[in-house]
Chain A
Amino acid sequence: MKFKTFAMFVGPSVFLMLLFIAFPLVAVLLNSFQVTQPVFTTQEIETCSAGFLEQSCTTEIKTIPVLDENGDTVTTTEWVGLSSYANVLGGDRLTRALSNFDFGELLRIDFWKALRFTLTFTLITLPFVLGLGLAIAVVVNNATRAVKGPVIFVSLLPFIITPVIGALSIRWLFYGDGIATVWLEAMFDTDLAVAANGWAVEFLMMFYRVWHVAPFAFVIFYAGLQTVNQDTLESAVIDGASRWERLRYVVIPHLMPLIVFITLIHLMDAYRAFEEVIGFSSESQRITLQYLTYDYLQPDDAGNRQISSASASAMLTMIGVVILLAAPLRRTWRDHKGA
């Protein structure tokens, strides 16, 4: 292909990638090193507030932002170096926790609490997604033609459901007097409070993620199974290989590139987990790194939002994803070079 033709094909997507990925990333990076603040002034202000019968007026010293002649807030932007990163990582509390070797205290700092959960969440769900996806694919592949269609349809359902709705439906099964909770209570004759138990919530969040993502792995594996070399399989049968041995020595090596692919996608997706926190209202028990960024960005009632900390937290999340993906990517790269 001539370079000009190549450039014309690739040009638009390179441009869009620069516009929507590279540029925002640079903006976030810059934001994480600077802080923009309104200029405040203190003023004695009388505020009258409604009571039921009559007003109560109070005069107090209020800190209010300065407005310029156009009525816009006057702001200053300062370079703060790594201080927003230090802030997100825990600042003085981090230093204290580290110098006292207090692991418990470390895990009570939002960032580390989120990191702990996000990592556990990502790494524990991964083998289940791969295993379950492969199991369904093998089962469907061996099912008789008549039931294949309906079985594929049913297995794909969790993947089609909107993530938040899926999370909410599992939440409603277990929280409060949910159907599943009532059954379990009757069966074991105890009183359960799922939402009050951090580990139970954590388990439900992982259960939901596996339930939701396994169909994706299934579809990919199922496609891969269609290309398994039948001759190799037949010779394995003749050699007396059991079903398990055929899977272990023929099918899985054949599917290896797909396994790496799903691992990459899942690591990226699970590390950015967010909807589980909202769906299961788990803020009090478990938070994820992505939720932490959202929390910094969310304005409070007075309209303050921590843009700089949010940017730092987003950068840290990205660095985390890169580290996590390094191992499988290196493997793919090596295979690529070897081939």
Chain B
Amino acid sequence: MLMKRLALAGAFALSATTAMADCAFENDVEVKSLSAGFEAWKAVTDAMAECGNFSAELDQEFRTKQPAAFAADPSLYAIGGVSNGTITPLLNEGTIRPLDDLVEKYGQNLTPNQLIRVDGDIMAIAMMVNTQHLMYRKDIFEELGLEVPTTYDEVLEVAAAIQEAGVVEYPLGATMKSGWNLAQDFNNMFLGYGGTFYNDDSTPAVNSEAGIKALETMKALTEYMDPEYLVSDSTYVQQQFQQGKIAMANLWGSRGGAMDDPAESDVVGKVGSAAAPVAMEGGAPATTLWWDGIVVAKNIPDETAEAAFRVAMEGLDTDMVQGANEDAIWLIPGYEPNEMAQGAIATATADPTPISYPSTSQMGLMHTAIGNELDAFFTGDRSAEETLAAIEESYTAAAKEAGLLE
């Protein structure tokens, strides 16, 4: 009896998937993909799965797995989900293929903006942009009669006013978890003050005026944060918002949807977004622009690559966007920006525009060095100057071992 019921349930499940499938073609080549695991990737890979013979691995550790998996021959995955930060090792090791011929054949619906070109060749197809920008509690700002800050000086003033009023536990949240997150927070501020990370000959350049200012501003901001900010990653900040503990944060655009999810948020409809604040007058918003998209492996037969690309195009079509409009700032035709997207769009279209996160070998080393050395500054063990000098020394040692410096 039980077996029969199970079999019946299975049959229903099968018929349900076939009913949903609205892929334009029947895929008969086995295609696998490896990407990050946030909402947008779920939507895209679900849409790709409608074509059949497709399996997706959504893994937050994708950035460490991808280079080795794509270097294998044949590659373990046909499709890779990357961002401008994580595409670097794939480009450097030559494990992804140029897509020009496939785009010509199957990419009629792509906009020129989606075609990521490196040295003239299309190496990736972008599907969405992401950036860290200001999210704030509209109701609190209204109640206290505060203006939405556009510079970090104003952020500090507003934070002080919110602290004074005592309406939330901490006025500010920030993605300052030790390591990658903390380094990225510094990168944003450092670029906001017009800094450059390294010189043309790969020697470090963070120990500069911009570096000192960035650290000072960050330190000033931490006064208004939960003292445990060094363990606070994107999910932590998102939850602080959802539980009404903070009033402002410079947070990833891809986290916006969760604020209005009634299943987990206490602040549905109360969180607004605005451009990332600028660090100095006339500067670009203190943040970096990111894109996420797909690449196709080089070490696979051409037929598999063709099938993979066609499946990917089905995943990145207007149908998918209409079903998952809130999940990302899509670059795909058919996307209608909602209110939560305004901040990211304002950031991406600001003048001057923030730069895209640089995808270079040097930046990888620099990011790690910053992540490792910044802790001592925030725990109060080291001054700003000493910290920046330590970052440069740590970067130089790593760059020598990597062969980038003599």
Give A46-59 as 1s and 0s: 1 = Cβ < 8 Å from B's Cβ atoms.
Answer: 11111111111100
The answer to whether the Cβ of B116 comes within 8 Å of any Cβ in the partner chain is yes
Nearest residue (CB) in A for B361 is A302
CA distance in complex: A67, B368 (Å)? 25
CA distance in complex: A300, B179 (Å)? 11
Q: Is the CB of B404 within 8 A of A284?
A: no
Contact of B115 among A48, A53, A108, A176 (CB under 8 A): A48
Q: What residues of chain B lie closer than 8 Å to A198, measured between beta carbons?
A: 379
Nearest residue (CB) in A for B341 is A52
Q: What residues of chain B lie closer than 8 Å to A285, measured between beta carbons?
A: 230, 375, 379
Among the stretches B266-274, B315-323, B348-356, the one at the interface with A is B348-356
Give B222-239 as 1s and 0s: 1 = Cβ < 8 Å from A's Cβ atoms.
Answer: 000011111100000000
Q: What residues of chain A lie closer than 8 Å to B143, measured between beta carbons?
A: none
Given A55-B112, A284-B375, A303-B88, do A91 and B393 touch, yes or no (CB 8 Å)? yes
Nearest residue (CB) in A for B239 is A176
Among the stretches B118-126, B154-162, B306-314, the one at the interface with A is B118-126
The answer to whether the Cβ of A15 comes within 8 Å of any Cβ in the partner chain is no
CA distance in complex: A308, B402 (Å)? 10
CA distance in complex: A53, B67 (Å)? 30
Contact of B67 among A45, A46, A71, A303 (CB under 8 A): A303
Q: Is the CB of B92 within 8 A of A64?
A: yes
Among the stretches A34-42, A124-132, A239-247, A264-272, the one at the interface with B is A34-42
The answer to whether the Cβ of A313 comes within 8 Å of any Cβ in the partner chain is no
Contact of B403 among A39, A87, A92, A108 (CB under 8 A): A39
CA distance in complex: A110, B398 (Å)? 14
The answer to whether the Cβ of B304 comes within 8 Å of any Cβ in the partner chain is no
CA distance in complex: A285, B362 (Å)? 27
Q: Is the CB of B298 within 8 A of A299?
A: no
Given A49-B289, A93-B393, do A302 and B401 touch, yes or no (CB 8 Å)? no
Q: Is the CB of A51 within 8 A of B376?
A: no
The answer to whether the Cβ of A62 comes within 8 Å of any Cβ in the partner chain is yes
The answer to whether the Cβ of B117 comes within 8 Å of any Cβ in the partner chain is yes
Among the stretches A145-153, A157-165, A189-197, the one at the interface with B is A189-197
Contact of B126 among A50, A193, A300, A302 (CB under 8 A): A50
The answer to whether the Cβ of B177 comes within 8 Å of any Cβ in the partner chain is yes
B143 CB, nearest partner CB in chain A, Å: 24
CA distance in complex: A176, B293 (Å)? 35
Contact of B401 among A61, A193, A309 (CB under 8 A): A309
The answer to whether the Cβ of A122 comes within 8 Å of any Cβ in the partner chain is no
Given A51-B113, A62-B360, do A193 and B226 touch, yes or no (CB 8 Å)? yes
Within 8 A of A (CB), among B184-241: 200, 202, 226-231
The answer to whether the Cβ of A283 comes within 8 Å of any Cβ in the partner chain is yes
The answer to whether the Cβ of A73 comes within 8 Å of any Cβ in the partner chain is yes
Q: Is the CB of A49 within 8 A of B84?
A: yes
Q: Is the CB of A48 within 8 A of B177?
A: no
Give A74-98 as 1s and 0s: 1 = Cβ < 8 Å from B's Cβ atoms.
Answer: 0010000000100100011100000
Q: Is the CB of B178 within 8 A of A284?
A: yes
Q: Is the CB of B390 within 8 A of A93?
A: yes
Q: Is the CB of B331 within 8 A of A50?
A: yes
Q: What residues of chain A lie closer than 8 Å to B344, measured between beta carbons?
A: 52
The answer to whether the Cβ of B276 comes within 8 Å of any Cβ in the partner chain is no
Contact of B365 among A38, A84, A302 (CB under 8 A): A302
Q: Is the CB of B112 within 8 A of A175?
A: no
Q: Is the CB of A46 within 8 A of B368?
A: no
Within 8 A of B (CB), among A178-199: 193-196, 198
Nearest residue (CB) in B for A55 is B113
A184 CB, nearest partner CB in chain B, Å: 15
Q: Is the CB of B398 within 8 A of A303?
A: no
Q: Is the CB of B345 within 8 A of A304?
A: no
The answer to whether the Cβ of A263 comes within 8 Å of any Cβ in the partner chain is no
Q: Is the CB of A67 within 8 A of B94?
A: yes
CA distance in complex: A35, B402 (Å)? 8
The answer to whether the Cβ of A298 comes within 8 Å of any Cβ in the partner chain is yes
Nearest residue (CB) in A for B127 is A50
CA distance in complex: A184, B403 (Å)? 52
Give B366-377 as 1s and 0s: 1 = Cβ < 8 Å from A's Cβ atoms.
Answer: 011000100110
The answer to whether the Cβ of A65 comes within 8 Å of any Cβ in the partner chain is yes
Give 21 pairs: A residue, B residue, CB < 8 Å, sorted on A: A52-B344, A53-B113, A55-B112, A57-B117, A67-B93, A71-B95, A71-B298, A91-B393, A93-B390, A93-B393, A108-B376, A196-B229, A196-B230, A281-B177, A284-B230, A285-B379, A299-B63, A300-B368, A301-B86, A302-B361, A306-B398
Give me 5 other A-B pairs in contact (C-beta within 8 A), A40-B403, A46-B120, A281-B231 excluded: A45-B119, A54-B112, A56-B356, A108-B390, A284-B379
**Chain B interface residues toward A at CB < 8 A:** 63-64, 67, 84-86, 88-89, 91-95, 112-120, 126, 129, 177-179, 182, 200, 202, 226-231, 289, 291, 293, 298, 329, 331, 344-345, 348-349, 353, 356, 359-365, 367-368, 372, 375-376, 378-379, 381-382, 390, 393, 397-398, 401-404
**Chain A interface residues toward B at CB < 8 A:** 35, 37-40, 45-57, 61-65, 67, 71, 73, 76, 84, 87, 91-93, 104, 108, 110, 175-176, 193-196, 198, 281, 283-285, 295, 298-304, 306, 308-309
